[in-house]
Structure 1
Amino acid sequence: MSYQQPGYNPQYGNPYGNQGAPPPGWAPPPGQNQGFMPPPPMPRPEPHYAEQGEARTGVFDPKYSFHFSDRSIRNAFVRKVFMLVTVMLLVVAVMTAIPFMNPETKNFVRTSMGMYWTGYGVFFVTYLVLVCCESVRRSFPANLILTAIFTLATGYMTMITVFYVITAHHKVDTVLLALVICTVCCATVIIFASQTKYDLTDCMGIMFILSMCLLVFGIVAIVARVAFHVSWMYTVYALFASILFMMYLAIDVQLLMGGRKFELSPEDHIFAAVQIFIDIVYIFWMILSLLGSSK
């Protein structure tokens, strides 16, 4: 029996061929008092998610291929988002307290109801830009500027909402009660979403159906309250809207934490912060509207 050694390979290539290697040229494919009500819930544009298990599905997108393999990077991303959300909520809280410390601001709020709808227009436009335009929300400093404008518009709308509720009932207990309920509910939802093994990110189709049903019911409730002075329908709407946004908060927290079927890209800290922030604000608005309409 003779042994034949492979010939000399001057380029240090593989003499046995590229077994299992991709073919040459292969590249991955590109990737409220009577008559005053908070605005209806915003539409929630479908975000770009980084889906796990690309080797299982055969789909590879280099833009979303990073799945928090390093725990320290995941923790840093989560801390960054929650710090940003905390700053945004503090700005809203400070703006809400201004009319009760400055009489001139109180008079301006009382006589300038049209500014509320101007603020809502700014709120609506900046929200859509931040969640729909990926290139904008990932570009510094444009993303921070738009986030600041969005936060100020939200704070102005919250300030007017709280002012009219307190003016209607002449007590601060309604707002404080709504704040306590909102804080307890949001903290409970965040803890549950981060600890449970149930994957809530796989329920986006159900959430879309529930959102559309609630939107139609909300339009009917607002028309019934304004045109026919039937307030109980809006009370029911506020109750279900607050529950729906608690469910959205749980889903957004799991998208932020990662480790589920869908997770947010680590570059989308602005998107994650805006979504969690608006979930909390809408929960507060709906609870405040629910308590205000019951008095």
Structure 2
Amino acid sequence: MASYHAVPGNVEGGMPKESVNFTNASIRAGFIRKVFMLVTIMLAVVAIMSVLPFVHKDIMTYTRNNFWLYGVSYLTFLVVYIVLACCEKVRRSFPSNLICTAILTLSIGYMTMMICSVHDIVSVAICFVITAVCCGTIVLFAMQTKYDLTSMIGYVFIFSMVLLVFGLVAIISMMFFKIKFLYLIYSGLAALLFMFYLAIDVQMIMGGGKYEVSPEDYILVTIQVFLDIIYIFWMLLSLFGRK
């Protein structure tokens, strides 16, 4: 999850220092616009890259015959994500934060392109529409609801750990015993989990809940929202995609 801090209640003599970041409505609005603008650009890049194999046969052939590049892309993504998550100076410094974000976006885009290239274009389009509708609905719900979903982070984390173990069992069962229904169950549960993560991240961006994100960490929360949506698409494609 993106970095966040607990928001204490009002104290006598004024608001506490920790909530100064979000006391100004214009600062909050600018922070929200910046995050969602970057997420939109990143998703647009991934969408364009994912379409390329279906409009250019040579790209389709290349991606299918060079699966090792998926591992390179994943390693690149993992290294950049760890750097941004652990190095505060990098993610808060311009232009290093945007350069790292661009590299991360391209690596995720290539992985998504390779995943889409082994699926039927109709199923890819259907999963894209389902993802767009679900994520749009979740974002609107998280922005309008009075329920503080950020207070449930602990429960969501526990469920994530349980699902991680179940996912490993499902993958092993599919690879060695050809039992596919466990992986389908895992994909469905994982899609729901990341939908909930998306709602929590949106509320932390909006502020006012138990936990909220500092405006200085807009890069990290942008990447988190972006990854929530990408993982939802990947899981839905695993669930409904036809290879």
Normalising to structure 2: TM-score of the pair? 0.94
**Do the aligned partners of 1:66 and 1:265 also contact (CA within 8 Å) in 2?**
no
Deviations 1:118-176 (A, max 9, x none): 1111111112222232221101111001100000000000001111112xxxxx22111
**Do the aligned partners of 1:109 and 1:160 also contact (CA within 8 Å) in 2?**
yes
**Among candidates 225, 229, 233, match of residue 182 of structure 2:** 233
Distance 1:132 1:61 in 2: 27
**Among candidates 200, 212, 223, match of residue 251 of structure 1:** 200
Note if 1:81 corresponds to 2:35.
Answer: yes
Give the partner amino acid of 1:217.
F
Distance 1:217 1:173 in 2: 29
User: Which residue number corresponds to residue 182 of structure 1?
Assistant: 131
- SS of alignment partner, residue 267 of structure 1: helix
Structure 1 segments (4+ residues) deviating >3 Å = none
Distance 1:80 1:195 in 2: 19
User: Which residue number corresponds to residue 25 of structure 1?
Assistant: none
Distance 1:48 1:150 in 2: 18
User: Which residue number corresponds to residue 131 of structure 1?
Assistant: 85
Aligned ranges for residues 112-127 of structure 1 at < 5 Å?
Answer: 112-127=66-81
Note if 1:50 corresponds to 2:8.
Answer: no
Higher helix share: 2
- SS of alignment partner, residue 165 of structure 1: coil
Aligned ranges for residues 6-21 of structure 1 at < 5 Å?
Answer: none
Note if 1:144 corresponds to 2:98.
Answer: yes
When Rg is computed on C-alpha atoms for both structures, the one with the higher figure is 1
Distance 1:292 1:101 in 2: 19
User: Which residue number corresponds to residue 275 of structure 1?
Assistant: 224
Give the partner amino acid of 2:145.
T
User: Which residue number corresponds to residue 215 of structure 1?
Assistant: 164
Give the partner amino acid of 2:175.
V
CA RMSD of aligned residues (A): 1.9
Distance 1:54 1:138 in 2: 27
Give the partner amino acid of 1:73.
I
**Runs of 5+ consecutive residues of structure 2 not aligned to the other structure:** none
**Among candidates 198, 215, 220, match of residue 266 of structure 1:** 215
Alpha-carbon shift at residue 70 of structure 1 (Å): 1.2
Normalising to structure 1: TM-score of the pair? 0.78
Distance 2:228 2:111 in 1: 15
Alpha-carbon shift at residue 54 of structure 1 (Å): 6.1
Distance 1:146 1:67 in 2: 25
Segment of structure 1 superposing worse, 187-196 or 104-113 = 104-113
Distance 1:250 1:48 in 2: 16
**Do the aligned partners of 1:52 and 1:261 also contact (CA within 8 Å) in 2?**
yes
Distance 2:167 2:213 in 1: 30
Alpha-carbon shift at residue 274 of structure 1 (Å): 0.3
Distance 1:94 1:252 in 2: 25
